[in-house]
Chains A and B, each alone.
Chain A
Amino acid sequence: MDRILFGDNQFFGVNHMSEEKARAQAMRFQDTGAVIEVLDDAYAEGIRTFMCTTHERISEVCDYFRANRDKYPDFKFYPCMPYAHKYANAAAELGVLGAIRSFLPEENAFRALLKGGLSLARKDIEGLANLLIDSEMKMFAGLPTPVVFLQNVATDFLLGLGFDEAFRIFADCVRTRYGAEPGFISMNAPVLVQRLQRSGLENPIICTNINKIGFRMSGGMAAYEALMASGRCRLIAMSVFASGALPPQEALEYVCSRPRVNSIVFGASSRRNIAQTSRLIKQLTAA
């Protein structure tokens, strides 16, 4: 994994601080060309990994990078699935099982099974999971996706339920069908890592909030510090600026000095910010 990963929240009107800023971003990036321009800037600044949700508009970004492989030969994608709002909105309209059914391919035996009563055998659950994962991965066909993530809403929901088997199913599917490493995004990393280990998933890739003010580091700073010290997982730090609550230098000094944080993911909309953040991370990592 690269030290610096590029995130995509800024492209889809996600801003944890301000709805006005979120809308301004949604307007600026409604044309995929504007997204690609920023990714181009990131590439020019030496960033080689784009960590993105399986938002339907990412498929246009994928089309561009597929068509221009020679221009970006070493550019990688880390898909994060599912795009949760798609499921949540569908669940309000169609019910929970109806929502799952609506994302399965039209011509599929599982669709009928879900209607008639799917068996509980692991192979059937696995089959269903495979289909849902396939439908999210379709847009990345032909592009390198060395790590595939389960989004935090899904990870933490399953973690709360105690449905640990789902993590195994996800990991197996990602490994066998895509030759990729499974990753887990979570707001509850200390608990998650324990449970993944109990399920036999050793040294997992975990993407979680790591920031100086403890914003959305559930379980508390102490538990996170212990996790970082333990070396029991490969960590990607997200929300390092705590949604803008921390100034860049102070924020990055903290995260770059943490032990065993492999990578840092951040999003930015201007070349200047991308350059500044990348430079700071490199400087502070070397220090």
Chain B
Amino acid sequence: MLRAAIIGLGKMGLSHHSIVNAHPDIELKAVCDTSGYMLDLLSRYTGVRTYTDYERLFAQEQLDCAFVATPSKYHARIVMAALDRGLHVFCEKPFGLDPEEGYRLAELAERKGLVNQVGYHYRFVAAFNEAKRLLDRKLIGDLHHVRAEAYGPVVLRPKGSTWRSQKSEGGGCLFDYACHAIDLVNYLVGRPRAVSGTVMNSVFSNDVDDEIYSTLHFSKELKGQLATNWSDETFRKMSVKLSLWGTAGRINVDRQEIQVYLRTLTQPFEDFKQGWNVRYTTELTKGVWFYVRGEEYSAQIDHFVRCITERAESLSSFRTASDTTLVAAMMRADAVKPQTTVERERPPVASEPKAPKARKRNLFGRLLSTG
């Protein structure tokens, strides 16, 4: 039985609380948050021990692992404190706002042999894993283009009072939303070598970006594009979609389904056929022991537990999450670089418009006017 604590009880922390508490191999010992009312409520009605100070929690509780789900800017220091106490750590995404800090924490966790995981739950969606399996087998040949899109209804009004609307707290579409799409690209295709043409735009927010567009460079042959917008209510909930073009076909994949188009099929592969092949989440997804809000949320917790008991490395480690932070940070730096102005190479020479010449009347005109 793994003894666990959760630090931070916002939307994600509470969701983890429910799933962690339901896991047969975890005993949730304590939770920590700054909201006294939430803590009192949980303590009274669920019996969990509560703290308002994570240092005190770590000092007083006998633990094996910790789940960190505070606002992003506090992740690093809490993770550090947990690692210092020898705890396996699951941290919410984004892992942090500074990639170097992330890599340092990754090294520390690796050195101490502690399981480290970040809540990039799309890595646990069956359809994306199916895409990864097919890409790894080069079923659609050599990739030449990738498009990653993420849309959803998060910020639909100018007002917003939580940390998510403040840049200094790690809010904004880039780190809070686009990171999911970036992480999936890293997972399926590999980390881009460079980014260019990044646009960070605000739709409603005063302080942060609501949409991000960027070009991704993987190799001479492979490029990609990222398009994310969290001010789009035409999606009922967050939707992440990847489209991948290869020399032998194309894959479109989202949470629900994977569509594989095979231009050619040189040798038989499973029951894939030339042309379109569609697989749905219903056939791809493995059931989970407890379901709250999507299999992937439960599956990532179960994976963390298995990694601890089997001494394995997580599929979504501090290191891979730091790669994602690194790409996001590079996009932010790229967004302020000068653009290429649209102008003609040789603008027309400015000059006075010529006065129209007085028209010479021809003979016929002259004859007429004399009358």
Q: How far is the CA of A106 from the CA of B21 in the complex (A)?
A: 35
Q: How far is the CA of A92 from the CA of B164 in the complex (A)?
A: 7
Residues of A with C-beta under 8 A to B14: 96, 157, 161
Interface residues of B in 279-333 (CB under 8 A from A): 280-283, 285, 287-293, 295
Interface size on B, residues (CB 8 A): 53
Return the contact of A156 from the options B47, B161, B292 (Cβ within 8 A).
B292
A 63-99 to B, binary, CB cutoff 8 A, 1 in contact else 0 = 0000000000000000000000100110111111110
Return the contact of A17 from the options B41, B159, B164, B281 (Cβ within 8 A).
B281
Determine if B19 is an interface residue (Cβ-Cβ < 8 Å).
yes
Write the nearest CB–CB distance from B279 to chain A, whole angstroms: 10
Interface size on A, residues (CB 8 A): 53
Determine if B359 is an interface residue (Cβ-Cβ < 8 Å).
no
Write the nearest CB–CB distance from B275 to chain A, whole angstroms: 18
Write the nearest CB–CB distance from B37 to chain A, whole angstroms: 6
Determine if B60 is an interface residue (Cβ-Cβ < 8 Å).
no
Residues of B with C-beta under 8 A to A163: 42, 45-46
Contacts between chains A and B (CB distance < 8 A), count: 142
Partner-contacting stretch, out of B50-58, B106-114, B234-242, B361-369: B234-242
Contact A19 B162 (CB under 8 A): no
Contact B281 A94 (CB under 8 A): no
Residues of B with C-beta under 8 A to A153: 292-293
B 216-244 to A, binary, CB cutoff 8 A, 1 in contact else 0 = 00000000000000000010110101000
Write the nearest CB–CB distance from A162 to chain B, whole angstroms: 5
Contact B237 A85 (CB under 8 A): yes
Which residue of chain B has the shortest Cβ distance to A246 in the bound complex?
A: B282
- Give the interface of A toward B (CB within 8 A): 12-19, 22-23, 26, 85, 88-89, 91-98, 114, 117-118, 120, 125, 153, 156-163, 165-166, 187-188, 191, 213-220, 242-245
- Give the interface of B toward A (CB within 8 A): 9-11, 14-15, 17-19, 21-22, 35-38, 40-42, 44-47, 153-155, 157, 159-162, 164-165, 234, 236-237, 239, 241, 254-257, 280-283, 285, 287-293, 295
Q: Could you give 6 example pairs across A and B, Cβ below 8 Å? A: A17-B281, A89-B153, A163-B45, A215-B285, A217-B287, A243-B280
User: 11 additional contacts, CB 8 Å, given A93-B159, A120-B44?
Assistant: A17-B280, A26-B236, A85-B237, A93-B162, A97-B35, A117-B36, A162-B46, A191-B22, A218-B290, A219-B290, A243-B282
